[in-house]
Amino acid sequence: MKWNGWGYSDSRFLFNKKGQAEFTGNRYRLSGMIIPGLKDWMEGTFGANLQHKTQATVSPILFFFSILSIVSAAFVEELKSTGIPFSHEAEDRVFRAHGKKAHFTHFNFWFEKVLFINVTLFFFFFYCHNDVVKIVELACKHNVCLIPYGGGTSVSSALECPPEETRSIVSLDTSQMNRILWIDEKNLTAHVESGIVGQDLERLLNESGYCTGHEPDSMEFSSLGGWVATRASGMKKNIYGNIEDLVIHIKMVTPRGVIEKSCQGPRMSTGPDIHHFILGSEGTLGVVTEVTIKIRPMPEYQKYGSVVFPNFEQGVACLREVARQRCAPASIRLMDNEQFKFGHALKPQVSSIFTSFLDGLKKFYITKFKGFDPNRLCVATLLFEGPREKVLQHEKQVYDIAAKFGGLAAGEDNGQRGYMLTFVIAYLRDLGMDYYVIGESFETSVPWDRVLDICRNVKARIIRECKDKGVQFPPLSTCRVTQTYDAGACVYFYFAFNYRGLSDPVHVYEQVEHAAREEILANGGSLSHHHGVGKLRKEWMRETVSNVGVGMLKSVKDYVDPNNIFGNRNLL
Amino acid sequence: MASKAVYSQHRDPLLKKRDDFEDILEERRKTSDLRYALRCYTPALYKGLTPCTVSDLKTMVLQSDQLLYVINQVSKETGTATDEIQLEAEAILEEMAHRLQLTTVRFFAFTLSKIFKTLFRSICVNEEGIQRLQQAIQEHPVVLLPSHRSYMDFLLVSYILYTYDLALPVIAAGMDFMGMKIVGEMLRMSGAFFIRRSFGGDKLYWAVFSEYVKTMLKNGFAPVEFFLEGTRSRTAKSLTPKLGLLNIVMDPFLKGQVFDVSLVPVSISYERILEEALYARELLGVPKPKESTSGLFKARKILSENYGSIHVYFGQPVSARSLAEGRVDRSQFNLTPRHIPSKPSEGIQDFVNDSAFRLVRSQEENMVLKPWVLLAALLLQNQAAGNKLGVLVEDLTEQAVWLRDLSRQFGAFLHWPDHVPPSRVVSSSLSLHRSLVRVSEGRVQLNSESGSGFPPAAMTPEEELLSKAVVVLSCASYRNQVLHVFIRAALLACAVHSVTGSRKQEIFNTFSFLRNMFSNEFILRPGAEVQDFEEACYLLVKSAVLQIHQQEVLVTDSGHRTLAFLTSILDPFVQGYQMVCRFLCEEATETLTENQFVPAVRKFFIKHLLTGGLKYVEVLSSDLQKNALAALLRLGAVQKLRGGADQGTLKVNTVMVNSLEDTLGGKLPTQKTLAARL
């Protein structure tokens, strides 16, 4: 894995000697392919130029050598006696002091300001619930700050060490707690250690013919404990539910002791659900160690699909109708025009003349025959799951609704590529970084009647802010609707800009992101749908949940962790 | 940001940079009007426009969630079937809606060209403003906010937009136009839509109306145009803005239905207003003639006169978004469905009110002032000083040059031809306005016999006074155009004048007392007391009139002339307000109603003018009287009774009115308590 960016070290985009884009490695469908459209798209969208490459950054190790490790000696001594392995290699520490996904930008720029960063001084691997109990006890005894660390895919600065923290900071790495402890086929549940990474969990369950169906876009790297701690949401939540619907039982170690329920009843009326103190607590109350999660038999049949709409408005109207009729497929996502173009740019080189002829014909049919404006049309990607017959029936129902809104079925292949892009898009960010392009994504949830307004306004706000802050090139500002609910939808925004000519791009980037979030809130969007609050969005918590709300959360924190041992300072 | 221009202009008026003008009639005089009227017209449109016809628009309004909601609500309240109310709504919309069509526009383009060429010497437009507007139209929905001095205003704006190939606006017009049968329909076809003057409690009407305006705005159908001042200003002073329509056009932005709205103030300044004498008589109580087509034909004799030039300045577009930034929490609309009508919260009302004042002020600031405006101010002061013989032309010229320099220092947008000797400028101004002034034996004085319509012979003293008043009020309507330049400094000058001693705090107290007293009279943004005070200080220090120290304000030796000018420019208003107070104390009976107020005051004033107890004829202006009453009502010195047989009866708090009169007269120091209360 990469220390300063997303994903696997072997997978990345690069421009080959002929100036064509290529995706390396062999993990993804796109791996090893030439992507002829990407260069033009990058140049056209960002004004990026292959001649203007960012200078390579220096390894962080050089910089972190000078940071002294002042850890309470007594704590270290007692720890050694427990026999739990730990490390204080600099690179490990940096790795764990930050989320991977979001703060890629900071890595390239932060070295100038290295003194301001507080870095984890130690981190521990641990192997079971009892190890955790011991460490937490010790930390309480010696007043050491603990920061739980799962997959490290946080994009809310949740894993950054608070700069104001003066105690020793110890990172608790759950990655070695990755076993499925048991599977209960009668109740369709599995008891799993919290450190297990999404794809491993899914693979292991598949071996027994089951799945959880929880597939967040980060599932290659994110962990079960992380999902619980952030209230994660999966792509196929329409069938399987979000994490709060999936968990049956949670065991968490807090400074006060271990919290768990006494039974596994599917629903309880026992006062406010204590799981909901844990779900979304973002590591401020303790470490989730074991989770009992619902499982389902693996789906018999899967089918991708896609629909082209003449414009985004029609697309949203269709999604709304699908939600009204409660017939959403496992996943339904609507990309706007900019993302449609982007997806198009990522089409790999076609191997046969026949395919390219067919593509041309399709394009002709949609734009000329059906009169779709290529600068307005947008596309929805679909994923159906279930028994084959039901899938086909369901598919027809959805396509019928789409037709009412001017939607044309656009094939399985386009749908599948749409979902693959989700995984690949993160790698593209690293490519952008090489050519002065920085970008980020963020999400919100919003009532149906405001979906169009929020999409328009937030995109326009990003463009205006970039312009006001002196960005020389028009930014990429795009969105997609990724989830549908009865009363609203989840909207995902991407923005990226070419920062050539800016003296302080990170600052500009932060300002734009900040402005975009303000715009979301002003337009009736939520602070977060599934990324969480972390430290990045903390300032808006009070207006989001009211004074009393903050007070309630605070008093829980004060009881559970009076000395702020879990001192990552997220959320509040 | 666009709005920054609005704020920053106050800092240093001298640095104000304004665009140059171009005469659009010049081209008309050279080329064929017919070809011009028939030329190809392809304006740039809003980028988010969903093309729709006039009838699509109506359907959208009638099917909107907001209207349907109100229809249901009204149906529940009144027990009438929804279908019936739906029909009623359709009828309202039918009565209201415009039917913009190009052929009528072309007809107007042709006839107006002919008319404008005979009436006016030139119509000057700032082209940079036009370019900015063109940009704005493409970016965001646009609201055009012209000043309102004449019936001509909206035809003029549409004419100019047509000339520059810009999207034609839809214009909110008062229902009284509809009285003119053919003309009303023609105006409708050139983009006017008609609103009833008052529809206070009529929910359905309000819903149809607001939804209609919002739909046009949101869809970018056309720029929406309306008059912030609500009605034509008869006095040429800007009127306190009306907030109804501004509230409506702000709403889609505040509720996130559009990203932004560009508000474009347009300042239209006439060298000579067509309705000049008409307004004066209206202010004196001769009722306004009802708009009728035949009346319009009678008015055609005005065609034979020269009305000088018109300047139209399209101001910097102000972004609603940047006005609202940091002021309005838009998330307050998150918790109720947006189609349910609700009264704007106090915060929103304050914000809209504040924005309206800013916009009217930027209209004011971009009004072009002609030399005649300065002359009118000087002549009125001369006359009030009791100079029966009139003033020597040379003296007038000298004073005018002095005033020209002063007003330039104060940042006035003065159109004084610098390459022409001042005497020529003065004489040509005088000749354009010869209906108001008379020059004989090298002396200039107001033309007191010109009260056109009054028979010269056998006039009673009262008639004589009224005929004089017509001229004075016409003249005042020109002087009034420059008031906004001087008002803050004049308030300060009055305060300096009336405070004994030189303590800054006291002067500020008196300043804010006066400012508050006159805030129905002039455009003074609520809550901007300190800002206005600082601005006034800045101007008077810069023009070397005052020296301001930590605690003290001192008048310089050279400053007396300016100070005297400034106090006397405000003096008619001070005296007028004082007299209104006196009237209320002395003559107001228990049963005086609001409707009887103006005639009664007028009678009282005429009596005092004839006996010489009152210096300024212009206090006869019903505008001043109404403003004074409004101020007293606002301050609580007078109360209006509501309901029952006493509906509209004025209840006077004699003690308070008395003390206000004395404070205005400088007889009483501004009491702390009073100042604090005000």
Q: In which element (H, E) is residue B37 found?
A: helix B33-38
Of the candidates A453, A456, A521, which has its C-beta nearest B331's C-beta? A521
Determine contact, residues A489/A481, Cβ cutoff 8 Å.
Answer: yes
- Closest-CA distance, A450 to chain B, in angstroms, reads 8
Report the Cα B560 to chain-centroid distance in Å.
Answer: 31
In chain B, the residue whose alpha carbon lies closest to the alpha carbon of A313 is B50
Higher pLDDT, B549 or A95: B549
Best to test chain A binding among B259, B262, B319, B321 (most A CBs inside 10 Å)? B259
Nearest CA among A213, A6, A31, A178 for reference residue A102? A6
Nearest CA among A23, A532, A30 for reference residue A231? A532
Beta strands in A145-204 (DSSP E): 145-149, 169-173, 180-184, 189-193
Asked if A318 and A405 sit in the same domain, the reply is yes
A285 in a known ligand binding site: yes
Q: Residue B4 — pLDDT band, cuts 50, 70, 90? A: very low
**A104 pLDDT higher than 60:** no
A391 touches chain B (CB under 8 A): no
Domain span at residue A375 reads 301-422
Asked if A220 and A258 sit in the same domain, the reply is yes
- Closest-CA distance, B335 to chain A, in angstroms, reads 8
Looking at B612-664, list the stretches that DSSP marks H as alpha helix, in order from N- to C-terminal side: 622-635, 654-664
Distance CA(A518)–CA(A505), nearest Å, equals 20
- Cβ–Cβ of B256/A449 closer than 8 Å? no
pLDDT, position B387? 77
Query: What is the count of structural domains for chain A?
Result: 2
One-letter identity of residue A394: H
- Cβ–Cβ of B330/A461 closer than 8 Å? no
Residue A509 is assigned to a structural domain of this protein: no
Determine contact, residues B583/B602, Cβ cutoff 8 Å.
Answer: no
Q: Residue B293 — pLDDT band, cuts 50, 70, 90? A: low
pLDDT, position A61? 38
- Cβ–Cβ of B331/A522 closer than 8 Å? yes
- Closest-CA distance, A438 to chain B, in angstroms, reads 25
Best to test chain B binding among A311, A461, A464, A467 (most B CBs inside 10 Å)? A464
Of the candidates B257, B260, B329, which has its C-beta nearest A453's C-beta? B257
Distance CA(B670)–CA(A517), nearest Å, equals 50
A231 in a known ligand binding site: yes
pLDDT tens by residue, B381-410: 988 887 778 899 999 999 999 999 999 999
Place of tokens 């997609």: A480
Of the candidates B1, B256, B337, which has its C-beta nearest A453's C-beta? B256
Contacts of A515 in chain B (CB under 8 A): none
Beta strands in B309-435 (DSSP E): 309-314, 318-319, 391-392
Asked if A256 and A186 sit in the same domain, the reply is yes
A360 in a known ligand binding site: no
Looking at B518-556, list the stretches that DSSP marks H as alpha helix, in order from N- to C-terminal side: 529-542
pLDDT, position B452? 43
Distance CA(A117)–CA(A489), nearest Å, equals 37
A322 in a known ligand binding site: no
Give percent of chain B above pLDDT 70: 91
Q: State the DSSP code for A482.
A: E
Burial B535-564 (b: 16+ CB within 10 A, else e): bbbbbbeebebbebeeeebebeeebeebbe
**Of A381, A399, A422, which marks where a domain is finished?**
A422
- Cβ–Cβ of A522/B330 closer than 8 Å? yes
The reply to whether A492 belongs to the active site is: yes
pLDDT, position B300? 58
Determine contact, residues A29/A420, Cβ cutoff 8 Å.
Answer: yes
Report the Cα B608 to chain-centroid distance in Å.
Answer: 30
CATH of the domain at A394: 3.30.70.3450
Instruction: Record the tokens describing residue A448, joined without a space.
Output: 């149906």
Phi/psi at A532 (nearest 5 deg)?
A: 90, 180
Best to test chain B binding among A313, A376, A456, A543 (most B CBs inside 10 Å)? A456
Rounded to two decimals, what is the model's pTM?
0.89
pLDDT, position B645? 72
pLDDT, position B8? 38
**B15 pLDDT higher than 50:** no
Contacts of B259 in chain A (CB under 8 A): 456-457, 460-461
In sequence order, the 6+-apart residues with CB closer than 8 A to the CB of A438 are: A105, A429, A432, A496, A497, A499, A505, A509
Give percent of chain A above pLDDT 90: 55
A461 touches chain B (CB under 8 A): yes
pLDDT, position A347? 81
Q: What angle do CA B66, B68, B70 make, to 5 degrees?
A: 70
- Closest-CA distance, A328 to chain B, in angstroms, reads 25
pLDDT, position B612? 84
Contacts of A456 in chain B (CB under 8 A): 259
Asked if A224 and A311 sit in the same domain, the reply is no
- Cβ–Cβ of B333/A450 closer than 8 Å? no
Q: Give this complex's ipTM.
A: 0.87
- Cβ–Cβ of A450/B337 closer than 8 Å? no
Q: State the DSSP code for A115.
A: G
**Of A236, A271, A297, which marks where a domain is finished?**
A297
Of the candidates B1, B256, B329, which has its C-beta nearest A450's C-beta? B256
In chain B, the residue whose alpha carbon lies closest to the alpha carbon of A458 is B259
Higher pLDDT, B131 or B296: B131
Residue A158 is assigned to a structural domain of this protein: no
Beta strands in B594-647 (DSSP E): 638-640
Q: What is the mean pLDDT of chain B?
A: 87
Question: How, if at all, do strands B650-652 and B638-640 pair?
Answer: antiparallel
Determine contact, residues A39/A30, Cβ cutoff 8 Å.
Answer: no
Looking at B284-316, list the stretches that DSSP marks H as alpha helix, in order from N- to C-terminal side: 293-298
In chain B, the residue whose alpha carbon lies closest to the alpha carbon of A524 is B334
Q: What angle do CA B54, B56, B59 make, to 5 degrees?
A: 115
Q: Give residue B388's region: left, alpha or beta (phi > 0; psi -120 to 50).
A: alpha
Q: Residue A229 — pLDDT band, cuts 50, 70, 90? A: very high
Residue A340 is assigned to a structural domain of this protein: yes
- DSSP states of B183-228 as a string? HHHHHHHTTEEEE-S--TT-HHHHHHHHHHHHHHHHTT-S-EE--T
Asked if A198 and A309 sit in the same domain, the reply is no
- Cβ–Cβ of B259/A461 closer than 8 Å? yes
Place of tokens 């292949």: A413
Lowest-pLDDT range, A121-130, B342-351, B547-556? A121-130
pLDDT, position B591? 81
pLDDT tens by residue, A36-95: 888 888 888 888 777 777 765 444 433 333 333 455 667 777 777 777 777 666 556 655
Reduced to 3 states, what is the DSSP secondary structure of residue A497? strand
Of the candidates A456, A457, A524, which has its C-beta nearest B334's C-beta? A524
Residue A465 is assigned to a structural domain of this protein: no
Query: Once rounded to an integer, what is the mean pLDDT over residues B4-18?
Result: 48
pLDDT, position B551? 87
Asked if A286 and A314 sit in the same domain, the reply is no
Residue A315 is assigned to a structural domain of this protein: yes
pLDDT, position A489? 97
CATH of the domain at A243: 3.30.465.10
A464 in a known ligand binding site: no
Asked if A273 and A360 sit in the same domain, the reply is no
Asked if A308 and A416 sit in the same domain, the reply is yes
pLDDT tens by residue, B76-125: 999 999 999 999 999 999 999 998 888 999 999 999 999 999 989 999 99
Measure CA of the first residue to CA of the last residue in chain B; give whole Å: 35
Residue A403 is assigned to a structural domain of this protein: yes
**B607 pLDDT higher than 50:** yes
Of the candidates A449, A461, A468, which has its C-beta nearest B337's C-beta? A449
Report the Cα A478 to chain-centroid distance in Å.
Answer: 17
Asked if A221 and A317 sit in the same domain, the reply is no
Asked if A354 and A392 sit in the same domain, the reply is yes
Contacts of B256 in chain A (CB under 8 A): 450, 453-454, 457, 522-524
Distance CA(A508)–CA(B202), nearest Å, equals 50
A148 in a known ligand binding site: yes
A346 in a known ligand binding site: no
Determine contact, residues A239/A302, Cβ cutoff 8 Å.
Answer: no
pLDDT, position B20? 87
pLDDT, position B11? 44
Phi/psi at A157 (nearest 5 deg)?
A: 60, 25
- Cβ–Cβ of A457/B256 closer than 8 Å? yes
- Cβ–Cβ of B329/A453 closer than 8 Å? no
pLDDT, position A440? 86
Place of tokens 């609507």: A334
Chain B residues in contact with chain A using a Cβ-Cβ cutoff of 8 Å: 1, 256-257, 259-260, 329-331, 333-334, 337-338
**Of A368, A396, A422, which marks where a domain is finished?**
A422
In chain A, the residue whose alpha carbon lies closest to the alpha carbon of B48 is A456
Q: Residue A304 — pLDDT band, cuts 50, 70, 90? A: very high
Contacts of A454 in chain B (CB under 8 A): 256
Asked if A382 and A353 sit in the same domain, the reply is yes
- Cβ–Cβ of B330/A523 closer than 8 Å? yes
Q: Helix B102-119 crosses helix B152-163 at what angle (to 10 degrees)?
A: 110
Lowest-pLDDT range, A34-43, A390-399, B289-298, B531-540? B289-298
**A378 pLDDT higher than 60:** yes
Burial B131-156 (b: 16+ CB within 10 A, else e): ebbbebbbbbbbbbbbbbbbebbbbb
- Closest-CA distance, B336 to chain A, in angstroms, reads 10
- Cβ–Cβ of B331/A450 closer than 8 Å? no
Contacts of A461 in chain B (CB under 8 A): 259
Query: Once rounded to an integer, what is the mean pLDDT over residues B226-244?
Result: 93
Query: Once rounded to an integer, what is the mean pLDDT over residues B64-80?
Result: 94
Residue A374 is assigned to a structural domain of this protein: yes
Q: What is the mean pLDDT of chain A?
A: 86
pLDDT, position B3? 40
Contacts of A543 in chain B (CB under 8 A): 331
pLDDT tens by residue, B300-355: 566 667 888 999 999 999 999 999 999 999 999 999 999 998 889 999 999 999 99
Angstrom CA distances, A282 to A141, A569, B363, B384, stand at 23, 9, 54, 79
**B454 pLDDT higher than 80:** no
Reduced to 3 states, what is the DSSP secondary structure of residue B586? helix
Which residue in the list A304, A435, A492, A509 is annotated as catalytic?
Answer: A492
Residue A352 is assigned to a structural domain of this protein: yes
pLDDT tens by residue, B608-647: 999 888 889 999 999 999 999 999 999 999 998 887 777 7
pLDDT, position A117? 44
Contacts of A449 in chain B (CB under 8 A): 337-338
Query: Once rounded to an integer, what is the mean pLDDT over residues B507-515?
Result: 93
Instruction: Record the tokens describing residue B617, joined without a space.
Output: 């004829």
Asked if A388 and A414 sit in the same domain, the reply is yes
- Closest-CA distance, A50 to chain B, in angstroms, reads 32
Contacts of A457 in chain B (CB under 8 A): 256, 259
One-letter identity of residue B117: K
Looking at A243-387, list the stretches that DSSP marks H as alpha helix, in order from N- to C-terminal side: 243-246, 275-278, 312-324, 337-345, 353-364
